[in-house]
Amino acid sequence: MSQDNPMSTVFELQQRTLEQSKQAMEQSIEFQKRLNEAMMSNMEGQSDAQQRSLDMMRSAMESYLETIESMVPGSEAGVEQIREAMDEQFAAVEEAQADVQEMTEEGLEEHESMADAYLDALSDQMDMLTEGHEDMESQTLEFLDETEEQLKEFLEQADDQAQEQIERIQEQAEQLREQVGNE
């Protein structure tokens, strides 16, 4: 059977559709990965900016407390308590920021790992689907070839039988003519 037959065209279109679907899904997941990487990069920059902001705020608070100590006699003990509380609060904020950063990074890494696993599974499934599709195409085309061959043989046999019947009818007509001519 030629490669230009309608069944080959249908199977070729189906094969291209499967391949394009696979590529679209892979591109979608790759886009998500790039988006995650951009988010990670942005988060690192944001974390650095937040740390600089905290450092500036801490420095400003230290300057303020130093000013109070220098201007208000006997304030050293009260200022020291404020300084300790302030240091605890800044440490808690820094720890919370580090925890959020770490959890976010872990979440994004886990998402990327899951996306990779999904892509691998998808690729395996698409490979199996493609193989099955190719097998079905091969079997279908083989069936069509065999059917076409059988039809040709059947037509040849039918032609032979029809030819034999025509010859018999001609013989019978000849015999009838002879009988009619003899009478």
For the chain, give every domain's residue range. Answer: 6-135
The answer to whether residue 88 scores a pLDDT higher than 90 is: yes
CA angle 3, 126, 130 (to 5 degrees): 20
Residues in CB range of 129: below 8 A, 6 or more apart = 18
pLDDT digits (tens, 9 = 90+) for 123-166: 888 888 888 888 888 888 888 888 888 888 888 888 878 888 88
52-74 tens-digit pLDDT: 988 998 899 899 888 888 888 88
- Give the number of other CB atoms < 10 A from CB of residue 36: 16
pLDDT value at residue 4? 65
- Is the pTM here over 0.75, yes or no? no
Burial zone of 177 (CB within 10 Å; 0-12 exposed, 13-18 middle, 19+ buried): exposed
Mean pLDDT for 27-37 is 82
At CA 102, angle to CA 25 and CA 115, rounded to 5?
15
- C-alpha 54/C-alpha 45 separation (Å) is 14
DSSP designation for 73: T
Query: Confidence band (pLDDT; 50, 70, 90) for 1?
Result: very low
